[in-house]
């Protein structure tokens, strides 16, 4: 099950990279790319699956529920912003995309720096 967990981790990181790369690439002409939507959905699903595997004791140590909860909250805010940006493109500005990018960096920072 450790192999499955590690594959999910790779997909999780790829999802976050899709969101961050997509919004940074579209800063000049502010639009939320469809890849950002796919990326955040990938990150959310794989994060939930990884937490389930760890909580069930199938691989690794049990998750830090406080950390996971904060990361989930940030991910849900990013998902909401991406969905709003996709549905109402007139609201999307460079600052809107910068907010999404900042929250992605925050989420990655929490994952890496919080032990």
For residue 8, the model assigns a pLDDT of: 97
Please give the Cα distance from 15 to 42 (Å, whole number): 5
How many structural domains are present in the chain?
Answer: 1
Please give the Cα distance from 66 to 11 (Å, whole number): 22
Q: Which range of residues forms the domain containing residue 75? A: 2-113
Q: How many CA atoms lie less than 13 Å away from 54 in the CB half-sphere? A: 17
Give the pLDDT confidence of 24-83 residue by residue, as tens digits.
999 999 999 999 999 999 999 999 999 999 999 998 889 999 999 999 999 999 999 999
Contacts of 18 (CB under 8 A, 6+ apart): 35, 36, 38, 39, 42
- Which of 50, 67, 53 minimizes the C-alpha distance to 106? 67
Please give the Cα distance from 50 to 7 (Å, whole number): 10
For residue 115, the model assigns a pLDDT of: 81
In this prediction, residues 86-114 reach a mean pLDDT of: 95
């Amino acid at each position: 099950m450790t192999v499955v967990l590690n594959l999910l981790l790779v997909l999780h990181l790829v999802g976050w990279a899709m969101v961050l790369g997509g919004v940074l690439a579209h800063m000049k002409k502010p639009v939320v790319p469809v890849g950002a939507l796919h990326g955040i959905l990938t990150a959310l699903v794989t994060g939930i699956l990884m937490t389930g595997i760890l909580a069930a004791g199938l691989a690794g140590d049990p998750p830090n529920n406080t950390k996971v909860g904060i990361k989930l909250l940030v991910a849900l805010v990013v998902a909401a912003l991406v969905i709003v940006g996709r549905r109402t493109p007139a609201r999307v500005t460079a600052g809107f995309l910068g907010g999404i990018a900042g929250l992605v960096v925050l989420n990655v920072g929490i994952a890496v720096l919080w032990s």
